[in-house]
């Protein structure tokens, strides 16, 4: 006996909550059966999802915790462990998540809960723990007094050795899963045509389970970048000589390495990664254009790159760094690519100046993994900072976005004329 059932079994300490007797389970489930309204974000996430995760509840202390998730249908779940930090990963069919934000507050052994699309037709729920743990129980049960199913997860604090042994005993399914994800190319046409056309790839940062930054008002970076990316695509499509692709066209997670692979696979002439981060200096605002460098231009750029490069780990997948290149021809290609990246960055800043607010010293550089395609000129554009209320307001303003995408598209067109040795645009 660990916890005692109270009127609200999910607040405070619950000495009987982990008793597996029928009375305790019945009383605990009674609190769960009340289905909370779906959050607007979940309702619009994907209408074609096979499954709905209706509520999330957890209780516990420093020694053990119980997590209960209510579903509208039986969830076909696969689980595995990850280290650094210690995590339990639960993979599901594509799922609409309707969790109440307050239910995700850190409690017991759990420090963070994240969820979202991890790949096409597949979602992921990640439970971050304070330290090593053991999964004592994980089962899916049909509700006795209502429709739907519940997933019950009990974890207990463990030792580093026990966690390492559990990791070692996992099957090779993780490797197979990684390989499967590497082959996913959402939103990209398989055929570019018989002759190459100047191609721009727009990369809306984050997506799916990786929400990116979040403003104080709850605005998610992944939604901002996707909306802006779609509008930039539509503007660029007005130029008949420019082919436009996107790394993602919906709320889908992509590895950083997958974004780079897509750019190379489609022989992209220009790669533009879009972001809208938060930083500790809330007074800093304005657009920033980043290019690749192993040495960061400043502390803000360094911190930004470290945060963005950690996106894969935050989504519960292993990071994949590009191999070191020693081939002399490839090194020459990289130098030329870097030169083109710098050229476009300078042209983009000139196009934005006087029309769109820019940060001081708007051309900065750092070691962003997403910019490491050796043969694709690439830039990362911070279109604004969600940590600044004025920037957030502009990012939500349709008129401002229209102006911003027009100026970026104009810079792309100017760059196109440079690369193709045709008469420059005014």
pLDDT tens readout for residues 41-57: 343 344 556 899 999 99
Distance between CA atoms of residues 305 and 288, nearest Å: 13
Distance between CA atoms of residues 289 and 401, nearest Å: 17
Rounded average pLDDT over 376-385: 96
3-state secondary structure of 56: strand
pLDDT given at position 186 = 34
pLDDT given at position 418 = 79
Cβ atoms of 115 and 208 within 8 Å: the answer is: no
pLDDT given at position 287 = 97
Q: Which tokens is 388 given?
A: 């600044």
Of the ranges 187-196, 296-305, 386-395, the best mean pLDDT one: 386-395
Which ranges in 127-268 belong to alpha helices (H)? 160-169, 173-182, 221-236, 256-265
Q: Which tokens is 382 given?
A: 């911070």
247-301 confidence digits (pLDDT tens): 999 999 999 999 999 999 998 999 999 999 999 889 999 999 999 998 999 998 9
Which domains can be identified in the chain, with CATH numbers? 22-169 (2.60.40.3500), 193-420 (3.40.630.40)
Distance between CA atoms of residues 400 and 226, nearest Å: 16
Would you say the pTM of this structure is higher than 0.85? no
**Predicted confidence (pLDDT) at residue 127 exceeds the cutoff of 60:** yes
Count CA atoms closer than 13 A to 265's CA, side-chain side: 17
What band does 311 get if pLDDT is binned at 50, 70 and 90? confident
**Predicted confidence (pLDDT) at residue 84 exceeds the cutoff of 80:** no
Distance between CA atoms of residues 316 and 372, nearest Å: 22
Q: First and final CA of the chain: distance in angstroms?
A: 77
């Amino acid at each position: 006996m660990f916890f005692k059932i109270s009127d609200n079994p999910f607040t405070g300490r619950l000495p009987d909550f982990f008793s597996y007797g029928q009375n305790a389970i019945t009383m605990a489930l009674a609190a769960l059966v009340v289905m909370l309204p779906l959050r607007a974000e979940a309702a619009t996430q994907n209408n074609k999802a096979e499954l709905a995760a209706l509520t999330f509840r957890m209780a516990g202390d420093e020694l053990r915790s119980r997590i209960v998730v209510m579903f509208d249908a039986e969830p076909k779940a696969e689980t595995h462990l990850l280290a650094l930090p210690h995590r339990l990963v639960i993979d599901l069919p594509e799922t609409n998540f309707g969790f109440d934000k307050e239910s995700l507050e850190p409690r017991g052994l759990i420090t963070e809960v994240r969820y979202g699309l991890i790949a096409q037709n597949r979602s992921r729920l990640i439970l971050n723990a304070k330290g090593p743990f053991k999964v004592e129980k994980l089962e899916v049960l049909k509700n006795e007094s209502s429709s739907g199913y519940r997933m019950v997860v009990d974890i207990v604090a463990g030792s580093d050795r026990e966690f390492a042994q559990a990791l070692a005993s996992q099957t090779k399914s993780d490797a197979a899963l990684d390989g499967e994800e590497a082959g996913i190319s959402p939103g990209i046409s398989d055929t570019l045509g018989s002759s190459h056309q100047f191609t721009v790839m727009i990369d809306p940062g984050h997506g799916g389970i990786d929400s990116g930054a979040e403003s104080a008002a709850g605005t998610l970076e992944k939604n901002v970048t996707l909306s802006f990316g779609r509008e930039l695509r539509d503007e660029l499509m007005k130029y008949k000589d420019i082919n436009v692709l996107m790394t993602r066209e919906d709320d889908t997670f992509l590895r950083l390495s997958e974004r780079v692979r897509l750019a190379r696979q489609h022989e992209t002439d220009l790669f533009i990664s879009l972001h809208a981060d938060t930083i500790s200096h809330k007074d800093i605002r304005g657009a920033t254009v980043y290019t690749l460098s192993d040495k960061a231009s400043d502390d803000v750029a360094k911190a930004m790159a470290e945060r963005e490069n950690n996106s894969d780990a935050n989504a519960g997948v292993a990071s994949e760094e590009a191999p070191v290149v020693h081939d002399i021809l490839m090194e020459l290609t990289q130098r030329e690519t870097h030169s083109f990246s710098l050229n476009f960055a300078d042209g983009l800043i000139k196009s934005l100046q006087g029309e769109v607010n820019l940060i001081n010293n708007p051309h900065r550089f750092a070691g962003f993994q997403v910019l490491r395609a050796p043969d694709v000129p690439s830039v990362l554009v911070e279109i604004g900072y969600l940590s600044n209320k004025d920037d957030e307001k502009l990012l939500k303003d349709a008129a401002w976005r229209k102006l911003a995408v027009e100026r970026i598209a104009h810079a792309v067109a100017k760059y196109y004329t440079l690369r193709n040795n045709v008469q420059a645009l005014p």
